[in-house]
Amino acid sequence: MKSLARLLLLTVSLAAAVAAFASRAKPVIGLSLDKLKEERWQRDRDLFVAEAAKLGAEVIVQSANSDDTRQLRDIESLISRGVDVLVVAPHNGAAMSRAVKSAHEAGIPVMAYDRLILNCDIALYVTFDSVKVGELQAAWVVGRWGKNERPLRVVRIFGAPTDNNAKQFKQGQDNILAPLLQSGRVQIVAEDWALEWKPENAKKIMNAAIAKHGHGFDAVLAANDGTAGGAIQALLEEGLAGKILVTGQDADLAGCQRIMRGTQSMTVYKPVSRLALLAARAAVELARGTTPATTATLDNGFKKVPCLYEEIVSVDKDNMLSTVVASGFHSADQLK
């Protein structure tokens, strides 16, 4: 009886070993995204899936439509489908730590993609330097204002408070603005968070600032191109578009077109093509049981998470061609 049980156990573990080997030869990656609304996330998904396929991996993609409960459910379902690795861009960096714990219990490594997941044991974080994004935005506006006699009056539109990146963008802006606020060279006229990163919420913030302060501001530090679009809509209605400096990030097509037409001043180009490739390669490595080499870490409240970073660049009308267009992100024709 004992030997039968042993034989059974041996057969089961052999089968498991064969299955694991097979799955590593053609790994399955679970990609859980917050949403696909902004243009960039569709690119992230398409490039990630294509690169993973080139490397012999299959990707199951889920998009949670900015809903934490749905993203938790998406991840639970990817776990139960037995993926080899999970790649997650969380809607809410704090809420998604529960999902990482479930993945851990199932022995599945988790990589955070572009947005950090807080207070849990993630294997890797593949990202852009979000603090630097905020620094580039504030530095561009301050640089353009230059030695103007008057202090620079700024309206700040932050991103979604549930997104750890939004806090980092603000932090980066604060790094540049703090000494200038202290010396009185910069004044904050109004500031607020655009819930869910929605352009219409950014527009409301802009409308409220105009209602309260009239035309008494010189620049809008909008956290991304989507919120910049909302703010510019409000500026257009007041005849102010093109007269106020407006920042953004993502190099969305609409954002780049506004830059060329003069209603938006700058964006931060984050080459998602490179990030998605980097992440797909790292995910396949993790699925095959090796850990990609890293040189940096970021504290997520639980541990210093190993990080892989991609470079970013500040873009305005002057260097649009040599950056966004030269890299093939948008064609010159699209920007006419």
- Burial class of 192 by CB neighbour count within 10 A (0 to 12, 13 to 18, 19+): middle
Minimum separation from the CB atom of position 114 to ligand BGC (A): 5
Pull the structure tokens for residue 42: 């569709």
Q: Which is nearer to ligand BGC, 55 or 313 (CB)?
A: 313
Minimum separation from the CB atom of position 202 to ligand BGC (A): 11
Minimum separation from the CB atom of position 65 to ligand BGC (A): 12
Q: Which is nearer to ligand BGC, 113 or 217 (CB)?
A: 113
Pull the structure tokens for residue 329: 């992100």
Between CA 117 and CA 88 the distance in angstroms is 8
Between CA 267 and CA 29 the distance in angstroms is 32
Number of other CB atoms surrounding residue 143 within 10 Å: 10
Q: Which is nearer to ligand BGC, 115 or 281 (CB)?
A: 115
Q: Which is nearer to ligand BGC, 39 or 316 (CB)?
A: 39
In terms of Cα–Cα distance, which of 131, 190, 195, 133 is closest to 163?
Answer: 195
Minimum separation from the CB atom of position 42 to ligand BGC (A): 11
Minimum separation from the CB atom of position 91 to ligand BGC (A): 10
Torsion angle, alpha carbons of 201, 207, 213, 216, to 10: 100
Between CA 78 and CA 30 the distance in angstroms is 6
Q: Which is nearer to ligand BGC, 74 or 114 (CB)?
A: 114
Residues 44-77, buried b or exposed e (16+ Cβ, 10 A)? bbebbbebbeebebebebbbbebebebbbebbee
Would you tell me which residues interact with ligand BGC (CB under 6 A)?
Answer: 38, 40, 114-115, 159, 163, 165, 197, 224, 249-250
Q: Which is nearer to ligand BGC, 71 or 224 (CB)?
A: 224
Minimum separation from the CB atom of position 40 to ligand BGC (A): 6
